[in-house]
Structure 1
Amino acid sequence: MTAPWFDDPRFPMPLLDLLLAGTVGRDHLLRAAALAGETAVGADAPGLWRRRQAHLLVAALEEDSLYGPTAAVLAGLFPILPAGCVAPAFAALVTALAARFTVPDNTAYYQRLLLGDNAGRLDRYLENEIQTDRHALFWLHVALRRAVLQRDFDRAATLAGSALTGTLAPLRHKIDGDLALLGGRPAQAMGHYAALQAKAPWPGGLFRQGLAALAAGDAPAAQDHLAGLARAVPEHVSAMLALADLVSGRGEARSLLPGSLSVALYTYNKADDLNRTLESLLVSDLATSSGPGRVYVLDNASVDATPDVVAAWTGRIDPGRLTGIRLPVNIGAPAARNWLAADARVREADYVAYLDDDVDLPRDWLARLAAAAKAYPEAGVWGCHVADAHNPAIAQGIDGMLLPLPSGSNEPLILSDLHAQGFDYGGFAHLRPCLTVMGCCHLFRRDRLLGVGGFDIRYSPSQYDDVDHDLRLLLAGLPPVYQGHLTIGHRRPSPALAPVRPEQLAGGQANWQKLVAKHDSRYAAMATLQRDAATRDLRRKVQELAEAGIVGK
């Protein structure tokens, strides 16, 4: 088998780290494309690097298909690409988008409307700007994001139809496909994407065409689309991960946890949320090889109806399955986690799962995490994909990765935010090691949980204590593993739906600085450990696909 690109010692390490983090997220891909373009200058094989740059720009345009600046950079690359790389119809579409996307000189009036409370007036303003063709694509870009946040997909499609005409007409199929996929209609999305590919073929293929087929349950079509993209663009890591999990069956795997389980929750003054969380938890399948898991709820001195909720559920289920622990004062999240971990009853179990008090769990959540534990028994923690419960098009938590610092950056540490750069079309559904997982639903082996020390109470009352613990696990040779085939809903709204309160923002920023300072001397070691784990995992999956005859050897 020919050595893959990620094993080439000449491949720039910053670009390698960016691609290993994932090949989704517009700004992330634009940064990767810029690095590929810089590498092409003076390279032994400039044509190869220009093709890589073009493919990354194409992926960035797929992520945000109305963003004119991406189209402008891509259109400028067409004259120097090898012949046959791009279909003429696609080149014409990109060139037209670049020419027609213009930015208004002044958006002050829109900003004033945005700060007001008259949503109808704001919507009418956007419609008027689109219809009068004054910077129509810019305003359509704004209006579509707003409509998706409101889950008004019909209005979004109507607005797109009014603006995407003439040479831009093929792009309407792309937007309609995206809206259908976000709206839970993957079969319709497949039809729209097929129409786009027939009129203006996306070079290498559309990642979302494979994702739509996966969501529709059409495994053969998903494999066909993902394999075509992986062969054409082997650097498309997200497509390769999705394809490998589909072919291997990891995407559908469920297992029985091999040992006993304690499920640990902590809460403060969120009686209604806790009640809903316990309802979804206690109707889920908590079976393990040692019998059903036991649930422990720590009440951080709530003054609402939380004690009544815990008492009601304790009396409603089998004796001993749920135990309430009430504290006289609120000790914060890190200390609450430590209190639960130190409880003699919790410590009897082989595994400990921590849950937030405002999550919605699918029935098979534990079986999905157990499958991750079976596939990656060496992990320090297994976490999952977290979606906004109010709008599942918004991802809140995925596989966090350490990113290389941009040239001239004053930041000591950058964590990936691919999920925050756009909406969630299914591109985070994979299983692999990473730097950190979101702490509102994660599973530990008890000995590994305690082996690197408890959660650091300097992050009280909350935020980044789970990240800090994950970093210590990685440094101990126990990398976190992300189970992207398990999605839980988180009822705390995303910042895009509800502004972060000033005290939360200040607390988060302060704790971020604590995290940065605490691990200041360890970032290079973390980057190496993360890179080695991610590369080793990708190499194994590419080899699996090659042995199955799906990608080239």
Structure 2
Amino acid sequence: MNPVWLDDPHFPTALGDLLLAGTVGRDHLRRAAALAATAAQGAPAHAQAQWRQRQALLLAAALEEDPLYGPTAQALVALLPALPPGSFDPGFAALAATLASRFTVPESTAYFERLTAAGDEARLSRFLDNEIRTGRHALFWLHVALRRAVLVRDFDQAGSLAGCVLTGELAPLRAKVAGDLALLAGDRPAALTHYQAVAATAPWPAGLFRLGLATLALGDAALARDQLSALVRAMPEHVSAQLALADLVSGRSRAVSRLPGSLAVALYTFNKAADLDRTLASLFASDQNMCDGATQVFVLDNASGDATPAVVAAWVERLGRERLVSIRLPVNIGAPAARNWLAADARTQSADFMAYLDDDVDLPPDWLGRLAAAAAAYPEAGVWGCQVADARNPAIAQGVDGMLTPPPSGGDGLHIGDLHAQGFNFMGFSHMRPCLTVMGCCHLFRRDRLARADGFDIRYSPSQYDDVDHDLRLVLAGTPPVYQGHLTVAHRRPAPALAPQSPQQLAAAQANRHKLVAKHADHLAELVQRQRTVAANDLRQKRLEMGAAGLLAEVPTRPDQPKGR
């Protein structure tokens, strides 16, 4: 198998773009596997075995993402006879075959859907418990129940239900599910123990990505390096593992730095007094000394009718006008105009850097040092952003490194991948790299580059997609965003999985997305090419770092050598 697939001129472009976006997300990986299957059909006879092996590894990675999803196991088991003998461990092959045969879909889910629509949680729980313990479609309903349990963080109930079904031949799957639940619950030692049990009884092809992540989270960098490097050597297409390993080797995963200049921190708010108070508390409790110059905070009140003016006044009295500047407008001008107003204020224009924060975020103490580390690693970026987690349920990622992916059939060309929304957050986005867009609730700009970017487009008022549009223009200007996945900021606005949007909110978001698509339709090919080039070159550079550390079996192509992509 050619390890440096991104330099193979015959490698399918669409598949390469999917891989560069990341190798997590069940449906994302299943789609990549389908493209590998198509490539196998059109490949010369001598290359078909390599493509089938690639397809199988991608399906195995998809099964790691969602280990109870029967259709993935069924697709993988159907492919096994076409692989050379011994390609997969017999324990894993037997586990996949058992899951494939036992996972059946009920003829109707109408009753469950009626209970869901009615919001009758008690009857829903009783129904699922009965179906899991006594029904013919126990694996199907367990899959449904585990997702619901994680959404409400009832990990004890999830483990109890899994124990009812995952016995006998499915016992290694019980260990895998237990590891996943422990990781989401924050019990990393238990997660590691369960993943090690899986590796001992039914080792996953290429290894478990989450095993390396759990090991790293527990502080055993040497063992995590061995685990991740083994995975990367066995599956060179696993981009997410390469990104995690490269940051571990280089020290980026631990780095904090200082901003080389002064900083203006800008917030805008409307009728969220309690949220704003909590956000300011986390901001002023954080380490603002990670800046060589002065730090000044600006709060723009968009004509709030609640207690917001009193909250801001109390903070000004506590800190002084030198540290906190209050701006109150007579009307609500919306998010993009508020951003522009703050950027145009003469007092912010004297700063070297400007950070925008939403009024409902919880900042960790080292947020500024982490963003400064990203600025030091990628000084050419147009903006530096971070990972955003749901404050109520950190198992839900709200924002990661947004990347364009080939659109699904029937979709428009501007398709930003939703890998993080295809499951829960198992730390698979803890890396630093250039991307297409970062979530705008906590991001950092060089003041001079922000001034040259023509501001935030007020056609996206009152909010949504103005930050995405701004990021796309940064990409077109040759200064793409950089994602700092080693910084996680908690966002108190609930994710749609916890609080579905109202019809009005959905309509407004859809309208703004149409504006975004129409505005950038003529630039789409350029955006795709720029992202592809930047992401591939970044990965090449990181493969050089891993190669220099002796972690790759081959010497990767240097960034200045001819490339196939």
TM-score norm. by structure 1 comes to 0.98
Flag the 1:227–1:3 CA change in 2: closer, same or farther, 3 A.
Answer: closer
Distance, in Å, in 2 between the alignment partners of 1:4 and 1:117 is 50
Q: TM-score, normalised by structure 2?
A: 0.96
Deviation of the 1:528 alpha carbon: 0.5
| 3-state SS of 2:113 partner | helix
Q: Distance in 1 between matches of 2:226 and 2:163?
A: 30
Q: Contact 1:102–1:137 (CA<8 Å) still a contact in 2?
A: yes
Residues 437 and 481 of structure 1 are in contact (CA less than 8 Å); yes or no, is this contact kept in structure 2? yes
Greater shift in the superposed pair: 358-367 or 222-231: 222-231
Matched, 1:39 2:39: yes
Asked if structure 1 preserves the Cα contact closer than 8 Å seen for 2:436 and 2:472, the reply is yes
Give the letter for the 1:226 counterpart. L
Give the distance between the partners of 2:411 and 2:375, measured in 1 at CA: 38
Tell me, in whole angstroms, the C-alpha distance in 1 between the residues paired with 2:39 and 2:339. 47
Q: What displacement does 1:158 show?
A: 0.6
State the Cα deviation string for residues 19-57 of structure 1 (Å, max 9, x = none): 000000000000000000110113131111111100100
Q: Per-residue deviation at 1:164?
A: 0.7
Find out whether 1:550 has 2:519 as its counterpart: no
CA displacement, residues 133-159 of structure 1 (integer Å, 9 cap, x when unaligned): 320000000000000001011110110
1:345-364 equivalence runs, <5 A: 345-364=347-366
1:189: Cα distance to partner? 0.6
Amino acid at match of 1:499: P
Deviation at 1:3? Answer: 7.3
Corresponding residue for residue 514 of structure 1:
515
Is the 2:343–2:349 Cα contact (8 Å) retained in structure 1?
A: yes
Does residue 440 of structure 1 match 2:438?
no
- The answer (yes or no) to whether the contact 1:382–1:482 under 8 Å persists in 2 is yes
> Does structure 2 conserve the Cα–Cα contact (< 8 Å) formed by 1:261 and 1:288?
no
Letter in structure 2 aligned against 1:323:
V
Unaligned runs of 5+ residues in structure 1 are none
Hey, what's the Cα distance between the residues in 2 that align with 1:410 and 1:67?
A: 25
Whole-angstrom distance in 1 between the partners of 2:291 and 2:280: 22
SS at structure 2 position matched to 1:324:
strand
Distance 1:80 1:134 in 2: 31
1:351-385 CA-to-partner distances (Å, cap 9, x unmatched) read: 10000000000011000000000000000000000
Is residue 286–residue 292 contact of structure 1 (8 Å, CA) maintained in 2?
A: no
Partner of 2:540: 539
Equivalent in the alignment of 2:67: 65
Secondary structure of 2:521's aligned partner: coil
Once superposed, what is the RMSD of the aligned Cα atoms?
A: 1.0
Pairing 1:247–2:262 present: no
Secondary structure of 1:387's partner?
Answer: strand
Q: Distance in 2 between matches of 1:360 and 1:225?
A: 33
CA distance in 1, matches of 2:216, 2:474: 33
Report matched runs for 1:89-108 at 5 Å.
Answer: 89-108=91-110
| Percentage of identical aligned residues | 67
Gap change, CA 1:410 and 1:244, over 3 Å in 2: closer
Equivalence for 1:282: 284
The offset of 1:116, in angstroms, is 2.1
Q: Which has the larger displacement, 311-320 or 541-550?
A: 311-320
How far apart, CA to CA, are the structure 2 residues paired with 1:472 and 1:411?
Answer: 19
Runs of 4+ with deviation above 4 angstroms: none
Q: Secondary structure at the match of 1:329?
A: coil
- Contact 1:259–1:288 (Cα < 8 Å) also in 2: no
Q: Distance in 2 between matches of 1:179 and 1:159?
A: 12
Matched with 2:475 is 474
Whether the aligned pair in 2 keeps the contact of 1:381 and 1:479 (CA below 8 Å) is: yes
Aligned with residue 135 of structure 1, among 137, 143, 155: 137
For residues 250-276 of structure 1, give each alpha carbon's deviation from its aligned partner in whole angstroms, at most 9, with x where no partner exists: 000000000110000000000000000
Say which of 111, 114, 128 aligns to 1:112: 114
SS in 2 for 1:384: strand
Give structure 2 stretches of 5+ with no counterpart: 555-565
Among residues 384, 399, 402, which one is paired with 1:400 in the alignment? 402
Aligned to 1:186: 188
Contact 1:284 1:364 in 2 (8 A): yes
Which of 146, 149, 174 aligns to 2:148? It is: 146
Q: Tell me the residue number matched to 2:560.
A: none
State the secondary structure of the residue aligned to 1:15. Answer: helix
Counterpart among 75, 78, 85 of residue 76 in structure 1: 78
- Measure the CA separation in 1 of the matches of 2:496 and 2:218: 29
- After TM superposition, list the pairs within 5 Å mapping 1:140-219 onto structure 2: 140-219=142-221
